[in-house]
Structure 1
């Protein structure tokens, strides 16, 4: 695994650009099997709406897929703020402390509208591929502006 500094080398983000990010929990712990913890993570996405335009998301038991358009904050600040607010609130709820997210995240800059639609479909179908449900509508922790 590369260090955080190496992963960030050469990264730059553009205002109004669309990004798909995947953020994993620390040690891939299935924190979001707990309904209340999952709801806290979703409320964090709602809180971030003044910083990004969310297109879709799916919160899996141990990671988040999130597709959004940047507004005026750089990508790393958006992810950092989301991780911070959710960590504080989940720790408060669970009477615990410490990080819940891995330090790094995966990101993909979308270049075309076709990429945007394909990525949204991929994100929404994640619970199906993981065999958590038989139909997308059965899974409670996702949303998409296209549906």
Structure 2
């Protein structure tokens, strides 16, 4: 029996999560993380005419978060290509047999501006919540440092999220927005 299709609509933005099977690690070293990012870049070029846009991302040891904006095609073909090629690479490199990913992928469709902001903040704070870093900009496999201007933008499109903040102060205000959730957490 085939897996049912994920519902989708044109122009949708979607927070995609793909988790390792049995919550096992899907990245074991820096080369693995870098290869996955390379696959995202290659998929953006491959599907250039479908106009996918990566809003933000975070690659964790055992799962990935990608906030993607679509135009005319569902995100499944994009993430499916990335994960399938990555699984073949991982299986060969580590002599792994079986499914690398738990499921195809889990989509959460963005229905409001507030949800878009919260999804980006959630994605960028993931390494901090997992106690992997003390500051979100210290995590190498996330787009956060590009959002706040510490690194040059590559792979992502920050325009949509940063447009919610005052022009000229977008990056500074986004950083305050994201990091305000840290102070709330530590105050509890």
The number of residues matched between the two structures is: 142
Contact 2:80–2:104 (8 Å) recurs in 1: no
Structure of larger gyration radius: 2
Aligned counterpart, 2:116: 116
Which shows bigger deviation, 89-98 or 64-73?
A: 89-98
Contact 1:4–1:103 (8 Å) recurs in 2: no
Unaligned runs of at least 5 residues, structure 1: none
Does 1 or 2 have the higher relative contact order (CA < 8 Å, sep 6+)?
A: 1
Structure 2 Cα separation of the partners of residues 29 and 96 of structure 1? 12
Contact 1:54–1:69 (8 Å) recurs in 2: yes
Structure 2 Cα separation of the partners of residues 46 and 98 of structure 1? 26
Deviation at 1:76, TM superposition (A): 2.5
Which shows bigger deviation, 41-50 or 122-131?
A: 41-50
Contact 1:87–1:100 (8 Å) recurs in 2: yes
Aligned counterpart, 1:72: 72
Contact 2:16–2:65 (8 Å) recurs in 1: yes
Please tell me the root mean square deviation across aligned C-alpha atoms, in Å: 2.3
Deviation at 1:91, TM superposition (A): 3.4
Deviation at 1:4, TM superposition (A): 7.5
